[in-house]
Amino acid sequence: MNTIVGMGAPSLPPEPLEHHCSSASTYQTRNRGDTQYSGLMRTAYVDESEPGGGLDHTVYVLAAVVITSEESESARAAIRDATPRRMRKLHWYEALPAQRISWLDLLRRAVEVVVVRYDGAAARVERRRRHCLERLVWELERRAVDRLVLESRGKAGDDGDRSMLDALRRRGVGRSIRHEHIRGADEPLTALADLACGAHMAGYDRAVDATVILVN
């Protein structure tokens, strides 16, 4: 697990300071330095979490799970197999503790798990989300992600994301990444991002080799 501490992504972001918690940089070992995934399309599936059920206005979490085109179909099948019949879709907070632990194995199918956490002054939810999304897009572009899939939050929420992503492109951030919103019920792979959020909140970042970025 790596922890990176910084502000949001500035117009021309400097290389962030990295604090390595256990091993060499995930970015170096699983991305640019790893020819196993070269030439494969990379898609980042993104979901959010608001600790405290939305009552804590000082924290917000966005998690992205990067999956290659080669791995996507088998990952979807594994998620469907792991989803209990009582659930419309696999969801961390509806699960029993033993189920959550077993689901961590699903995240090992990812090329990368990136968690951006806002810890700062109290702010409205969309402001906290923009801080996280800004840094997340920059981090994903560094990792050669081609496509960004965000779980839909309804028209107003999705329009806000698109406005932010367009503003970032005008600043030169995320121009190489295509983005779209999809209902979680229509794309099983969005469940992986939900698991990454839940794993982060439960303290399992090291278990899933997540890179955690703190912004304020």
- For residues 52 and 83, which has the higher predicted lDDT (pLDDT)? 83
Query: How long, in residues, is the chain?
Result: 216
Give pTM, 2 decimals.
0.84
Cβ partners under 8 Å of residue 194, min gap 6: 47, 63, 90, 91, 92, 151, 184
pLDDT higher than 80, residue 2: no
Question: In which band, very low, low, confident or very high, does the pLDDT at 51 lie, cut at 50, 70 and 90?
Answer: confident
pLDDT of residue 53: 79
Single-letter amino acid, residue 89: K
pLDDT of residue 94: 87
Reference 113, options 13, 200, 38, 176; nearest CA is 200
Position 88 confidence tier, pLDDT thresholds 50, 70, 90: confident
pLDDT for the residue numbered 17: 32
pLDDT of residue 20: 29
What local confidence, expressed as pLDDT, does residue 52 receive?
A: 79
Residue that the structure tokens 């496509």 belong to: 147
Mean pLDDT of 195-201: 96
Q: With 50 as the cut, is the pLDDT of residue 198 above it?
A: yes
Find out whether 195 and 90 touch, Cβ atoms under 8 Å: yes
Instruction: Give counts: helices (H), strands (E), the chain.
Output: 6, 8
2-5 and 17-20 beta bridge pairing? antiparallel
**pLDDT tens for each residue of 95-147:** 889 999 999 999 999 999 999 999 999 999 999 999 999 999 999 999 999 99
* Range name among 15-19, 118-122, 147-151, 170-174 with the lowest pLDDT average: 15-19
Distance between CA 30 and CA 21 in Å, rounded? 16
DSSP percent split of the chain into helix, strand, coil, nearest 5: 40, 25, 35
Which of residues 198 and 10 earns the better pLDDT score? 198
Tens-place pLDDT, residues 202-214? 999 999 999 999 9
